[in-house]
A and B are shown apart, each in its own frame.
Chain A
Amino acid sequence: MSTVPTQSPQTYPIDRIRADFPALQQQIRGKPLVYLDNAASAQKPNQVIDTLADFYRHDFSNIHRSVHTLGERATAKYEAARDTVRRFLNARQTEEIVFVRGTTEAINLVAQSFGGSQFKEGDEILISAMEHHSNIVPWQMVCQQTGARLRVVPINDHGELILEEYQRLLGSRTRLVSITHMSNALGTLNPVKEIIDLAHTREIPVLLDGAQAVPHLPVDVQALDCDFYAFSGHKLYGPTGIGVLYGKRELLEAMPPWQGGGEMIRTVTFEKTEYNELPYKFEAGTPAIAEAVGLGAAIDYVEAIGWDHIAAHEHALIEYATEMVHTIPGLGIIGTAAEKGAILSFALDRVHPHDIGTFLDHYGIAVRAGHHCAMPVMDFFKVPATARASFGIYNTLEEVDQLIHAIKEIIKVFG
């Protein structure tokens, strides 16, 4: 297996990081790939790819039920990955780490299990106007089932949550707050500590959608004191099909199982089933075993680079990109929050985002063009769609230059 890059105190090891990602070594339409679609999903380093391949070659078996050697080996690796996630989030106990398919499934789990068993007619769930569809629709579904009501905290023209409005909407009927840690469409970093503290003064639990935040900054669920935290492996340079729901033990204990099947039970008779303990109560069926192990490898990889290094590098990228696009007439940035991650959503006066996307692809540049699964955000900013360049650990300032050059060429062609 290849080695994880060791951090240098002075310089960011960009060449070594890039060399770890085989997908970055290719050409697209005759030009070197510039991958700026990291907010949708990130590329994978050899350390993750090799972990998956090695696991399938040598250690694979189903877990927990088998007494043979491979069963024990696979179980040990799967559970070791769970402990890696616990450490990564600084959760108190591994029992608080539930493996799911991704952020979407984690939110659906909380909506159905917590919401389905707790919400009543007239109860309110608070989300924000910058949420991804996966933090809107699961709540609408549980509202329909229970008679609860969805309330939406508005945002300002910079794409920042309006805290006063949030405070105003927090009320005696609020049963849960579910807010994104970092917006996928705007890049906004929410003041999550404040959001949580305010909710807790009324004893309202808070779920944070961490899909976008987790690849960019360290998360400490104890320091935040959040009640649920959800994220996906694939945006964190890990495999698809694996994600995490963190939940405070006492909340998870009180919640009914979400799906029934194998693994989540202790005893089954036709009369009665006794459920398994945490976290297995929420892991019915054979899970994504290799993917969980791969997620562990991805976490080891980013932690070895170091959060300080990653934050400084990505901050430099977004600062530079923002400064450069300001020199382009007719370009508007969608999402100009003071606290912002490495996401640059933009629109051009005379060129539709879809045309931008196709043109950039011909320059080897991968961006996302569309509504980014956040149609209410598009409606708020009165744009049908945006083009979005999102940065990761392997992007460079030269790639930003290439993006800027290509955007200027597009404007020239469309006139």
Chain B
Amino acid sequence: MLDDLRDLYQEVVFDHNRNPRNFRVIEDADRTIEGFNPLCGDRITLYIKLDGDRITDVSFQGQGCAISTASASLMTEIVKGKTIQEAEKLFQAFHKIVTGQDDDLKLEELGKLAVLTGVRQYPSRIKCATLAWHSLESALKGEQSSVSTE
């Protein structure tokens, strides 16, 4: 593979694209939301189970490019067990870093999500990485409709 693509397509991204985690339906989800990126046709349905303000389970279904699938998969892994406030903080940090608004942010705070920061160099692909997160944010705010990145 071309070396300069490695920044965007790291091995972790390929792994999560091939074997997305939490790729299933939660039948008794407390929140369900659909996300859509009209630019590339990516669609995601996000399922969330809450206990008070804690996310006890989260999963997704849908189809999308490697970046959006890996991002959704990584997101479900990282927010499971977190409180709504913690997830919201993570979303803010992630969003700032992938849109290039905050280069000083410590990558450690993002944990595994740091593999997606290469998307900063690809303005047309940023929405792929943020679709799942926008969907999560809307779902946690209690919105039950659909969310679009356009």
Contact = CB atoms under 8 A, between A and B. Distances in A.
Contact of B40 (A29, A353, A414): A353
Contact of A415 (B18, B39, B43): B18
Interface stretch (A223-231, A306-314, A357-365): A357-365
Contacts of A413: 1, 9, 14
A378 B40 CA distance: 11
Contacts of A415: 14, 18
Contacts of B9: 355, 413
B90 interface: no
Interface string A359-373: 100110000011100
A355 B1 CA distance: 13
Interface in A361-414: 362-363, 369-371, 378, 384-385, 409, 413-414
A354 B1 CA distance: 17
A354 B9 CA distance: 13
A313 B147 CA distance: 46
Interface stretch (B58-66, B98-106, B107-115): B58-66
Interface string B27-43: 00000000000111111
Interface residues of B, number: 23
Given A352-B64, A354-B65, A354-B128, A384 B8 contact: no
B4 A352 contact: no
Nearest to A370: B40
A371 B122 contact: no
B41 A363 contact: no
B1 to A, nearest CB: 5
Contacts of A369: 40
Interface string B62-100: 011111000000000000000000000000000000000
Contact of A384 (B18, B63, B66): B63
Contacts of B65: 352-355
Contacts of B63: 352, 384
A354 B5 contact: no
Contacts of B120: none
Given A29-B4, A362-B5, A355 B41 contact: no
A415 B128 CA distance: 21
Given A355-B67, A414-B66, A415-B18, A362 B40 contact: no
Contacts of B67: 354-355
Interface string B1-15: 110110011000010
A378 B41 contact: yes
B41 A362 contact: no
Nearest to A350: B18
B14 A359 contact: no
A45 to B, nearest CB: 27
Contacts of A371: 38, 40-41
B21 interface: no
Contacts of A351: 66
Contacts of A354: 40, 42, 65, 67, 125, 128
A353 to B, nearest CB: 7
B2 A384 contact: no
Nearest to B122: A358
A371 B38 CA distance: 9
B66 A355 contact: yes
Contacts of B40: 352-354, 369-371, 384-385
A180 B17 CA distance: 38
Given A353-B40, A358-B8, A413-B14, 12 more contacts: A29-B4, A352-B64, A352-B65, A354-B42, A354-B128, A362-B4, A363-B2, A370-B39, A384-B42, A384-B64, A409-B1, A414-B14
Which 4 pairs show the lowest CB-CB distances between chains A and B? A384-B41, A352-B65, A354-B65, A385-B41
